[in-house]
Amino acid sequence: MDPRRMAGLLDAPGCRRRLALDAARVDLGVLAEAIGAPPSGQSPYARERDGTFAHLATARLPELVTRHLGIECTAAVETEALPSGPGLWVWREPRLRLGDLPVTPDQVVLASDGTLLHPVEIRSYAVVDGHADPAKVAGTAREVAVIVGALRQAAPVPERISSRALLVLPRNFGLAPVATTLDVAPQVRRLGWALARLRTDLPDRLRRQADGGPALQGDALVGALAEVEARFGDGCPSCPMYTHCRTGAEQDGSVARAGAAAANLCGPVGLAAHALALAHGERTPQGESEQAIAAELARAAQAYGWATGSVP
């Protein structure tokens, strides 16, 4: 899988359905067809702009690496393995692994001072007046964390792979490249936690696929995923299952249809009807967790009543 797909483990870390999707290595094209959602694509104009900027940025990489990482280099050198010496290196189509999963980026660019290897990432979203889109930078950080984790697994000395990367972006609305350092250590730690949970509680059908069995298709695939609970979070809109999960939440009357904040507040109370009953004292809490949720919901209901004038 490419780093962007692997980074999905950090988009919605509390969602068991997304974990199951990645653990079983479900083909996203097959999934899109099964749930009736066409896979997303990129416009030809955007692809052309990406290619143009990547070409311009690559020509400026030695200068940017020297300025921001303090590593003297003159040109990028092609390599067929993890480099060991100082310089700027381009490793094309490396075959890496992260845990049990393959990671197959098109290329990995690394800057080395002879001791540490720093990933270099080129992206085409802009830095406008010194600021880039925080959501896009966060997405890039998750993908770089995948590369760092996979390189550390492949390296004889994992500590040589630095979590401090160089991110190269276009400035304002032109194509002039600028760079900044990006520390992805927190994302690498979160990735390790996500991988530890990757194969837990998989349905039998998906477990067999994860172990090399036949790939599920159509209704069998949708049915297997339905056996695993979904949980809404901030990263859900970027997930290929988003519209499918949202429709299911609306049909079931799930709290999640009100958004991630409501789902996080209600915790194990998954149905909106049950949450409203707890808020109004019409449902007996089951266990300590529901007691705490009921108290919080009751306070919220009272505050709402005061704000609207329905409670004296």
Q: The tokens of 249 are what?
A: 């939440």
Q: Which long-range contacts (CB under 8 A, 24 or more apart) does 51-59 make?
A: 52/175, 53/122, 53/124, 53/170, 53/175, 53/177, 54/122, 54/124, 56/175, 56/176, 56/177, 57/122, 57/168, 57/170, 57/177, 58/122
Using CB atoms within 10 Å of the CB of residue 108, give its burial: 0 to 12 exposed, 13 to 18 middle, 19+ buried: buried
The percent of residues above 70 in pLDDT, for the chain, comes to 94
pTM score, two decimals? Answer: 0.78
How far is C-alpha 8 from the chain's CA centre?
3
Number of Cα atoms under 13 Å in the Cβ half of residue 30: 13
Tell me which of 302 and 175 has the higher pLDDT. 175
Q: The tokens of 178 are what?
A: 């600028």
Give the alpha-carbon dihedral of 160, 12, 121, 154, to 10 degrees. Answer: 30
100-104, 244-248, 262-266: range with lowest mean pLDDT: 262-266
d(CA 24, CA 227): 14
Looking at residue 275, its amino acid is: A
pLDDT tens track for 29-57: 788 888 887 666 667 888 898 999 999 99
pLDDT tens track for 141-197: 999 999 999 999 999 999 999 999 999 999 998 999 999 999 999 999 988 888 877
Amino acid 249: pLDDT: 80
Alpha-carbon distance values, 128 to 1, 38, 131, 178 (Å)? 32, 32, 5, 11
Report yes or no: 115 and 106 within 8 Å, Cβ to Cβ. Answer: no
Q: How many C-beta atoms lie closer than 10 Å to residue 168's C-beta?
A: 25
DSSP state of 309: T
How far is C-alpha 304 from the chain's CA centre?
35
Strand partners, 8: none
Q: The tokens of 123 are what?
A: 């992206």
Element of type H or E holding 89: strand 87-92
Using CB atoms within 10 Å of the CB of residue 144, give its burial: 0 to 12 exposed, 13 to 18 middle, 19+ buried: buried
Sorting pLDDT into bands at 50, 70 and 90, what band is 93? Answer: very high
The percent of residues above 90 in pLDDT, for the chain, comes to 39
Placement of tokens 């705490």 in the chain? 292
